[in-house]
Structure 1
Amino acid sequence: MMELDDIDRALLRALVLDATQSAGALGRDLGLSQPATWRRIKRLKESGVIAGHRLQIDAEAVGFGVTVFLGVKLATKGRVSLEDFERAVTAIPEVQTVEHVLGLYDYRLRVVARDLSDFERVLRRRIMTLPGAGDVEANVLLSEERLTGPIS
């Protein structure tokens, strides 16, 4: 694990809020030169602290007004491999995330749909027909606040 100093942590907090900022702009805010800031970012990437950059799209703005979290319990453990289920579920375009979890359910899925009837279609025709799919619990997202994470 890489040792992070206060400047590294401040740099990470700034990048979490807006990863498109230039090294020069970040450096000005942190009291560093552009080359020093760039070297720190490069070191954070090479060490694996910064694992990548991701574009966040507003699902509602592109016509997907409903987000549902599904808990999925596999019905036939041992008869269907986890890899088969994961391969099949990740092929469904409406499924944004697939998380293998410990607890009441085996998987937690984040699913987007145009509306509730579209979600019902995805659930009935795609998710419930997955290999090994058993019990499912749905939780409709009402609102969401983004937390930047455990960077102190």
Structure 2
Amino acid sequence: MMDLDEIDRGFLRALERDAQISAGALGRQFGLSQPAAWRRLKRLREAGVIAGARLDLDRAALGFGVTVFLGVKLATKGRVSLEDFERAVCAIPEVQTVEHVLGMYDYRLRVAARDLSDFERVLRRRIMTLPGVGNVEANVMLSEERRPGPI
């Protein structure tokens, strides 16, 4: 684990708000030169603190108006490996995230669909046919009030 100072933490907060902010803009914001800000960013990336940058797309504007969270319980853990299930579910383009979790279900999936009938098609033809799928519980997202924020 890397020791972070206040400027490093400030850089991370600024990058969480805008992942495309330039080293020059960060430097101006924190009283550093562009090369000094660039070196800090490089150090944070090399240490693995910054693992990448992500583009935040508006799913509804792209025609994906329904988000469903699925809890998936595998039927027979011994007969189907977790890796087989993960490989198969990750190949489904509508599945946005795959989380292996502890609790009532083995996996939590975030699925984006155009509408409920599109989700039903994805569920019946793709997800329910995956190796080892047992019980599935669906929760339709009504709204998203808080997005993930700074750590």
TM-score scaled by length of structure 1: 0.96
What corresponds to 2:4 in structure 1? 4
Post-superposition Cα deviations, 1:59-85, rounded to whole Å, max 9, x if no partner, equal: 111110000010000011101011110
Letter in 1 for 2:49: V
Question: Residue 24 in 1 paired to residue 24 in 2?
Answer: yes
Shift of 1:149: 2.9
Identity %: 79
Q: What is the rounded CA distance, in whole Å, between the counterparts of 2:113 and 2:149 in structure 1? A: 26
The residue matched to 2:102 in structure 1 has which SS?
A: coil
Structure 2 unaligned regions, length at least 5: none
Shift of 1:140: 0.9
What corresponds to 2:50 in structure 1? 50
Post-superposition Cα deviations, 1:19-68, rounded to whole Å, max 9, x if no partner, equal: 11111111111111111110000000000000111112111111100000
Shift of 1:103: 0.7
Q: What is the rounded CA distance, in whole Å, between the counterparts of 1:148 and 1:38 in structure 2? A: 23
Question: Residue 140 in 1 paired to residue 140 in 2?
Answer: yes
Post-superposition Cα deviations, 1:100-142, rounded to whole Å, max 9, x if no partner, equal: 1111100000000000111011111110111000111111111
Q: What is the rounded CA distance, in whole Å, between the counterparts of 1:143 and 1:32 in structure 2? A: 40
- What CA RMSD, in Å, does the superposition of the two structures yield over aligned residues? 0.8
Q: What is the rounded CA distance, in whole Å, between the counterparts of 2:143 and 2:27 in structure 1? A: 34
**Aligned pairs (5 A) from 1:42-81:** 42-81=42-81
The residue matched to 1:108 in structure 2 has which SS?
A: strand
What corresponds to 1:83 in structure 2? 83
Structure 1 unaligned regions, length at least 5: none
What corresponds to 1:101 in structure 2? 101
TM-score scaled by length of structure 2: 0.97
Q: What is the rounded CA distance, in whole Å, between the counterparts of 1:76 and 1:105 in structure 2? A: 13
What corresponds to 1:14 in structure 2? 14
What is the number of residues matched between the two proteins? 150
